[in-house]
Structure formats: structure tokens, C-alpha cells
Amino acid sequence: MELEKNEKIREAVQKGYTDIAKGKSGCCCGSSAPDKLAEAIGYKNEELQALPDGANMGLSCGNPTAIANLKPGQVVLDLGSGGGFDVFIAAKKVGAKGRAIGVDMTSEMLSKARAAIPRFAEKAGYSNVEFRLGEIEHLPVADASVDVVISNCVINLSPDKQQVWNEIARVLKPGGKACISDLALKNHLPEEVLKSVAALVSCVAGAVLVDETIKMAKQAGLGNIQINEKAYSIDVMADCNDPLYREVKQCLPKGKKLADYIISVDITAAKQ
């Protein structure tokens, strides 16, 4: 029964993000002003201007490339890379001797991201980017081969978050780190929100309590776990007039807003 439930969640997420890639729907401000959202949550204008056209789809709830403090020559892996937004930004930071790898389970997203690689290479003057098809619960990446794992508003979508954290620990080199931006629960969501497919695809219904995330990271073998809460990001996301967020807000009890239940968090953890 649990496997069947997980597969249904995975199918719903995949369909939702396939529609986003095809331009049939928006998510996390994807349908309105992605640059406005990106700047509000910490991306610099010069980073956005350097991106290939279409890479910023407004699917962010934080800025993992900023908290990662990336260095030239590092290998960076982005879980749920979508149109390549954070991969291209990371690629600029790690430079020609580094490598930025994106993994996504949606072939339409991968096609979109891969099509932007030549434009990125032309702008950057080098090519250090690749995108791989795969699930974040089963990463197509070798053991101990990555310096930094990043992810932006994606792990909450997984029906098996512990397995995602296990995979993060597996692919990190000793001394490597995970730098994750995601959504977390302040309070348990109302049942009507949990039943909403829009809430799942818009990164809301899959969120868990912060303590649960810390427990999963520790169980995977990671240490030095730090959490930074950012309530303001939720207000920015919820006010972007995105159709998915409109539907979620309609499911909330009268007088309640999304920020009463959800916070945006930055999570860092290290492999010893």
C-alpha cells in the first residue's frame, strides 16, 4: 500500500512539472515574475542576467548556491535541477575546472535544460555542465564523487525523504557538504490542503517538520547540521498570483495564510 501511495505521489509530481516545462502551468511564481521572486530570496541581478533564456522558471524557495559558498574546481550536484537555474549559477562559481551536474526525473525539464547548455557555454566561455535523467532517491552519480550537493524546493516533493538523504550522504566526498533550500512545516497542514494536488506540486503538501529533517540527515550519517528559517520567502511566494498557490490558499481555513503553516529553510550538513 505504501509503495502504491508513493508511486502515485511521484506520478503527480512528474505530471505537474512536465506541465510546467511545457508552459501549461506555473509553480512558485513560475507563471508571473520569476526574476522578482529570485531577487526577493537572495539572487543577485548579475547572476540572473548571466543565465540562458528560460532557465529561471520561478521554482525556487531559497538560494542554495549562496549558502554553499562554492569554490573554483568543485563538483556540484543539484537535486531536481528543472530547467537548470541553479546548475548554471553554480557552474559559473566553480569555473572551468569545476563541474555542475543536474539530476531531474522529468524528461521535458531535462530537454529544456540541455538545450540551454550551448547558450551558457557561449556566455561563460567554457562548458562544465551536464544534466542526467534520474530520481533523487536513486541518483545516477558515483559514490563519494561530489563536493557539494544543492537542492532548491525539491526534497519536500519526494515520498521517501530518508532515502534522498541517504543518497546525499552516499555521493558526497568525505568533507563534502549538503546545502539545501526547502520548505518546512511550522504547524501541521489542514486536511484539505494535504488532499490538494496543487499543494503537492507547489511544494507545500510534502513539507515536514524541521525536527524530522534533522533526524533524517543524522540518520544518513551527516553531521554539523544547521537550519536557518526564513519566513519572509513564503509571503513572497504566496503573493505572486501563481495559479497553484491560489488554489492552495483557497483550501486554507478562513483567516489563515500560508506562512502560518510553512516556512522556508536553508539546511546545511557535512559528511565527516
Average pLDDT, the chain: 81
Taking 60 as the threshold, does the pLDDT of residue 188 lie above it? yes
- pTM reported for the whole predicted model: 0.82
Q: Which residue has the higher pLDDT, 157 or 73?
A: 73
Taking 90 as the threshold, does the pLDDT of residue 33 lie above it? no
Residue type, 157: L
- Please list, in sequence order, all residues whose beta carbon lies within 8 angstroms of the beta carbon of residue 159, skipping any fewer than 6 positions away: 5, 6, 9, 10, 206
pLDDT at position 214: 96
**Any idea which fold 2-271 has?**
Rossmann fold (3.40.50)
Alpha-carbon span 149 to 146, nearest angstrom: 7
**CB atoms closer than 10 angstroms to residue 197:** 15
